[in-house]
C-alpha cells in the first residue's frame, strides 16, 4: 500500500481504508496530508462500490493533530493576514465535515495519542475503537490558541457543557478507557485487540444495508440542531428512499424465511 504525503489509501472488499502514515511526526497532519484524505472522502461520497470507511494509523500514535511545526518553518515569505481564516475551512474543517456528512459508516482505530485534530477525527467517526491506554487530549489553550476542527461543536454534544469545558479549557487528558466511559467513543479494548475489534465492526457495517445506514447517519446528525418535527420529516424522506432499495426487499424476504439477510449495499 503506497503512502503519498503521509497518507496511504486503499480500497478492498467495499471498504475504503485510509492510513495515516507519518509515524516519525506522530501522524500529525500537514496540508498535503489533509488534502489527500479530503480527496479520498470526496471520492467515496460518489463511489457506489464502497460500503464502509476505515480510518487508522501506522506506528504507535493515531494522530498528534495538525502539524503546526511544518506550517511555521521555512524560508519563504510569511503568509498574509487572514491566512488561517481562509485555509482552515478547506483543510481541517473540510476534513471533519466530510467524515460527518459522507453517507457511509466510518470506523476509526486509535492507539497512542489522539490530540487536537486527531481527537476530532476520532469524534467525527461513527465508531471509534481505542486502546485502553491511548491518550485523548485537546491541547489548544495550553498552546495559547483557541480550538478548531469542530471541537466546540463535537465535544459538548457528546459529553455535555461541564465536561466539554474540562477538556477544552482545562486541558484534561483522557485515557481510551475514560473516553469510552464518558461516551466520547464507541469502545475501548486492550491494545492487542484494537485491530480485531475494528475489523469486526467494519465487517458488520460493510455487510449492512448501505443506503439505510447512510440516510440514518444523516438523520442523526441533522437532528442534533433541529426540532422533532424536522427530524421526523427527515426520517420520512429517508424511509421513502431506503424502502426503494434492493436491500429492503432482501430484508423482508429474510424475515419471512427466518434467515439472516444478505445485503448487497443497493
Tens digit of each residue's pLDDT (9 = 90 or more) over 52-78: 999 999 999 999 999 765 555 555 566
Q: Which residue do the cell numbers 443497493 mark?
A: 266
Across 100-105, average pLDDT: 97
Q: Which residue do the cell numbers 503512502 mark?
A: 3
**Residue 165 grid coordinates:** 469545558
Give dist(CA 191, CA 111) in Å, integer. Answer: 7
CATH code that applies to domain 3-73+83-206? 3.90.226.10
Query: Above pLDDT 70, what percent of the chain?
Result: 95
> What element of type H or E holds 9?
strand 7-12
| CB burial of residue 66 (10 Å; 0-12, 13-18, 19+) | buried
Residues in contact with 243: Cβ distance below 8 Å, sequence separation at least 6, in sequence order: none
Give dist(CA 82, CA 22) in Å, integer. Answer: 28
β-sheet with 113-115: strand ranges across: 113-115, 135-137, 174-175
Q: Could you report the per-residue pLDDT of 134-190, keeping only the tens digit for each?
A: 999 999 998 898 999 999 999 999 999 999 999 999 999 999 999 999 999 999 999
Position 27 pLDDT exceeds 80: yes
Position 5 pLDDT exceeds 60: yes
Amino acid at each position: 500500500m503506497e503512502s503519498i504525503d503521509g497518507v496511504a489509501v486503499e480500497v478492498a472488499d467495499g471498504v475504503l481504508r485510509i492510513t495515516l502514515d507519518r509515524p516519525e511526526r506522530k501522524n500529525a497532519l500537514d496540508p498535503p496530508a489533509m488534502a489527500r484524505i479530503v480527496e479520498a472522502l470526496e471520492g467515496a461520497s460518489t463511489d457506489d462500490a464502497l460500503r464502509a470507511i476505515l480510518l487508522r494509523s501506522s506506528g504507535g500514535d493515531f494522530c498528534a493533530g495538525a502539524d503546526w511545526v511544518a506550517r511555521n518553518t521555512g524560508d519563504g515569505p510569511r503568509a498574509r493576514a487572514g491566512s488561517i481564516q481562509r485555509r482552515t475551512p478547506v483543510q481541517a474543517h473540510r476534513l471533519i465535515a466530510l467524515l460527518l456528512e459522507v453517507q457511509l459508516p466510518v470506523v476509526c482505530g486509535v492507539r497512542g495519542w489522539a490530540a487536537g485534530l486527531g481527537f476530532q477525527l476520532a469524534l467525527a467517526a461513527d465508531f471509534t475503537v481505542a486502546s485502553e491506554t491511548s491518550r485523548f487530549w485537546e491541547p489548544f489553550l495550553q498552546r495559547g490558541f483557541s480550538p478548531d476542527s469542530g471541537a466546540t461543536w463535537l465535544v459538548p454534544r457528546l459529553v455535555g457543557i461541564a465536561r466539554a469545558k474540562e477538556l477544552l479549557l482545562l486541558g484534561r487528558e483522557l485515557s481510551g478507557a475514560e473516553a469510552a466511559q464518558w461516551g466520547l467513543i464507541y469502545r475501548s479494548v486492550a491494545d492487542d485487540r484494537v485491530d480485531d475489534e475494528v475489523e469486526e465492526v467494519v465487517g458488520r457495517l460493510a455487510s449492512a444495508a448501505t443506503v439505510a445506514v447512510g440516510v440514518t447517519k444523516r438523520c442523526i446528525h441533522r437532528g442534533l440542531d433541529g426540532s422533532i418535527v424536522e427530524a421526523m420529516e427527515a426520517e420520512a424522506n429517508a424511509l421513502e428512499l431506503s424502502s426503494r432499495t434492493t436491500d429492503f426487499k432482501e430484508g423482508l424476504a429474510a424475515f419471512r424465511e427466518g434467515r439472516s439477510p444478505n445485503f448487497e449495499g443497493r
